[in-house]
Amino acid sequence: MGYFLGLDGGSTKTHIVLYNPETGLLDLYTGRGSNYESMPGGYDELTQVLTHMFDEFLGGHGITVSDIGRAAFGMAGVDTPKQHKDISQILTGLGFKDFDLDNDCILGIKAATSHGYGIACVSGTGFSVLGIDKTGRLMQIGGMGVVTGDKGGGSYVAGEATAYVYGQLFKAYPPSLMTDMFMQALEIPHRDNFMEAMHVKYYNGDMKAFSLTVCKIAFKAAALGDAAAINILATSAKCYGENVVGILRELDFSASPPEIVLTGSLPQKNPDSALVTAFDAYMKRHYQKPFVLKVLDAPSVLGALVWALDKDGTGAVTDDMRQQFNNELRRIASSS
């Protein structure tokens, strides 16, 4: 089939992997985010972004989309049947013929589970939970912010941490280590400068950089035992747990303990954090059956490559191959 392509498209960045089993080529491309919901131009802008990335990446290897035998896409912003249809039409228009598409949450399942089915929780910029059982039945919960009661991802954690800092400064909230960390990291000399700093650094500044900085503060404070920070992460863990339990009630995991994968930058960069600990504790209290909890230790785009190579989960990608792909993708990412 020649070339295989896998794409992990988030709000902040996009990873694309290209593989040719005949030549042994494996390469990784990193581009801007490809969640159309974060783009002022919507689907039209998404089409332009994808076109640019594929032209740049594939063109560098002297090929085009027509040379791709099979592809798999896990993309933020694929939450409803209409979104799936609309983005599938974009990909078809770009020249892809044999491909699968779903929410980027699916990639944690494809990358980390033993048989290609289980449940994945994404906690990156945003929030989503998705499950697939052995029959192929799929269920997704969350992904639409306040409408679906999402309490997770960098936007949520940063927002809650900032609100708590504001609460300590102006509402007599109990002291938190986050406050001094926040004021120092954002170079705010006094609480009288807080609102002006928010206008400059958040509303009219780099929101992504702001969110990343404040998330690091929340996780660092929680690791030091700060009650307010721990509570923010535990609240997020509870929300993920509620969604997972909802999926477990609907899908069939009776044959073996369900594999639950935590993916996204927050758990992957903080695998021993209060977020992971609280999630594990919630599941043990509310599920009360055996389950396997994993924090993804590979780039999520690995799941897209595995999915492209093993559409039906028949085991075409062995554990050894998966580890080799993981090692090589990590090497390429660290050298770029």
Task: Give the SS3 label for residue 217.
Answer: helix
Identify the bridge partners of residue 130 per DSSP, sorted by sequence position.
Answer: 120, 140
| Most distant CA atoms of the chain, gap in Å | 65
Quick one: pLDDT at residue 124?
Answer: 86
Give alpha helix (H) positions in 123-226: 154-170, 177-185, 194-198, 207-223
DSSP H stretches of helix in 251-318: 265-269, 274-286, 301-309
What's the pLDDT at 297? Answer: 92
CB 184 within 8 A of CB 214: no
List the 259-263 sheet strands across, edge first.
138-141, 127-132, 118-123, 259-263, 292-295
pLDDT value, residue 318 = 87
Domains of the chain, start order: 3-104+300-335 (3.30.420.40), 105-298 (3.30.420.40)
pLDDT at 208: 87
Residue-wise pLDDT tens for the chain (336 aa)? 689 999 999 888 999 999 999 999 999 999 999 999 989 999 999 999 999 999 999 999 999 999 999 999 999 889 889 999 999 999 999 999 999 999 988 999 999 998 889 999 999 888 989 999 999 899 999 888 888 999 999 999 999 999 999 999 999 999 999 999 999 999 999 999 999 999 999 988 898 899 999 999 999 999 999 999 999 999 999 999 999 999 999 999 998 999 999 998 999 999 999 999 999 999 999 998 999 999 999 999 999 999 999 987 777 888 899 999 999 999 998 886
Q: What is the pLDDT of residue 1?
A: 60
Query: What is the pLDDT at residue 114?
Result: 83
What are 228's two structure tokens? 């307010």
d(CA 126, CA 143): 7
Q: State the pLDDT at residue 334.
A: 84
Single pTM value for the model: 0.87
